Structures are given as C-alpha cells and as structure tokens.
Amino acid sequence: MSNGVTIGQAAAFVGVTVKTVRHYHKLGLVEEPERDSSDYRRYGSADLLRLVQARTLAAAGVPLAGIGPLLDADAARFAAALVDVERQLTERNEELAARRDTLHRLGDGNRALLPDRAVALLERMPGLGFTADEVAAAREGLVLARALVPEGFDDHLAHVEHALRDPRFVALSKRAAECAAWEPDDPRIAELATAMADHYLASPAQLKIVTGLQARTESATRYEMIARHGEEEAPAAARLATLVEAGLRAAGVRIPGPRPR
C-alpha cells in the first residue's frame, strides 16, 4: 500500500479545492510530491502540514505572494512579518469601511457627493417653494462648488443658508429659476437682473454668494464653471446672469470674467 494520500484526498483533508492545491504548487508555496510506482502523486504529513499553513495564512488575509517567505521564515522573522501583515489588514479594513460608507451614501445621491450640511440645505428648499428641478440645479451647483473651490465651500454654504432665511432672496431666486423658460430677449430679464443686482448690493452678506467662489488659481475659469452650469440649455438664464454680473461690476464689485462669448 502506497504511503500518503492523493491530491483529491489532500485537498479534502485540508479544506481547499484541488485547483487551490495546484495553484499553491504553481506559486511555489508547496512543492509537488514525487510520483509513486502507480504514477500518482502522494501527499505525506509534511505536505499536508504545509498546505494547512498556506491555507490558514491565506484565510487570514495574507497575500499569496507573501505566504512563501512566511512559511520559510524562522520564528522571529515569522512573528515580525505577522505584525506587518496585521498592519496591512488594519489599513485594508479601514479602506473597506470607507468604501462601505460610500456605498451607503450612494443610496442617497446627494449624500454621496455632498456633506450632510449641504444635504440639509437642499432638503429645506422644497418647503420654501422650490421645484424638484430647481433643487436639482442647486445640487449641481453645490457639487461643482465643492469640487472646484473646496477652500471656499463651507463659507459659501453658510452664506446660502443665511440667505434662504430672507423671503426677498428666496422670491428672487425662484423668479430667476422661472426665467429659464423665457425667451432670451424677454424684457422681464433686464428688470429681474436689475432687481437682483440691487438686492445683492443692499445685502453684503448675500453678495458673498456671488463673490465668494473665487479660487486661488484659474479663478475666472472655475467661477464660470460653477456659475454657468446648465446655461447651455437655458439662454435666458445665461443672459440674466450676464446682466446681473454687469450690474454688480458697474457698482465696483469684483467678479471673475467675463469669459469671451
């Protein structure tokens, strides 16, 4: 009777698949036994022990490329290597936890891209009479502001939060959103632009909503990406923004741009 067990028996005893055993052989983690007189590879106790050790380390999260050196290390090196593996696993767990948090936040599209404070602001807007489309446009603006001018985002958020407590600001903002459906030459656009510019000039804190998003580099480009988002589909809104900015500039307010049109 031949000593040792077949590869199938070895895999079953150790708790892995035959494919895994062969993969361990390919990686050099466990040497292939010599064939016996019946041309079968027979696994002895030492082979099974090595398979168990490799399987245990792999199950503990040790990368397969690092198992071989661990199996061949002396006790001191083995202990030191395990400390390093534990550190790597801790870092990996922290990364996985962060990914899980992102996935949970993806259940709410707003929370995936914006901090809770910005989400709370958006959730206030329907109660102030803003439509779902207007809230969506505000969300896009906040996402762009956070990405392009992160150093000014918290202050910008504070200015908008404060402004939404002002009924006049809310009314003008809703009117501005409505004008997207107007014709670009509608005379109401110039009237609304004057009213908005006058309101900003009379409310320095709210004026910072316009002037605050000025990045340290490529200021005009970043500002325009935020201020002009969505205007390709709304020429009337683009004209309104241009007239409001012109009115503010005429009063001496510094605003990046204008971009050539």
The pair of three-digit structure tokens given for residue 106, joined into one six-digit string: 């993806």
- What digits encode the pLDDT tens for the residues 103-151? 655 545 566 678 889 989 999 999 999 998 888 888 888 888 888 888 8
* One-letter amino acid of 136: A
- DSSP 8-state secondary structure symbol assigned to residue 218: S
The length of the chain, given as a count of residues: 261
Q: For the beta carbon of residue 74, count every other beta carbon within 10 angstroms.
A: 7
Q: For the beta carbon of residue 125, count every other beta carbon within 10 angstroms.
A: 19
Q: For the beta carbon of residue 221, count every other beta carbon within 10 angstroms.
A: 13
- The radius of gyration computed from the CA coordinates of the chain, to the nearest angstrom, equals 33
The pair of three-digit structure tokens given for residue 132, joined into one six-digit string: 């779902």
- What confidence score (pLDDT) does residue 219 get? 56
Report in angstroms the alpha-carbon separations of 160 from 72, 94, 117, 122, 235: 63, 34, 11, 11, 24
Report in angstroms the alpha-carbon separations of 170 from 54, 94, 129, 247: 66, 42, 9, 20
- What confidence score (pLDDT) does residue 103 get? 61
Beta bridge partners of 35: 41
- DSSP 8-state secondary structure symbol assigned to residue 228: T
User: pTM for the whole thing?
Assistant: 0.55
Q: Report cis status (omega within 30 of 0) of the bond before 187.
A: no
Please list the pLDDT of the chain residue by residue as tens digits (261 residues).
Answer: 457 888 999 999 988 999 999 999 999 988 999 888 888 888 988 889 889 888 888 887 788 888 888 888 787 877 777 788 788 878 888 887 777 765 655 545 566 678 889 989 999 999 999 998 888 888 888 888 888 888 888 999 999 999 999 999 999 999 998 998 899 899 999 999 999 999 999 999 899 888 877 645 555 565 565 665 555 557 898 899 889 989 999 999 887 654 444
- Are 61 and 92 in contact by the 8 Å Cβ rule? The answer is yes
The pair of three-digit structure tokens given for residue 81, joined into one six-digit string: 């290597």
Helices 204-211 and 150-163, interaxial angle, to 10°? 140
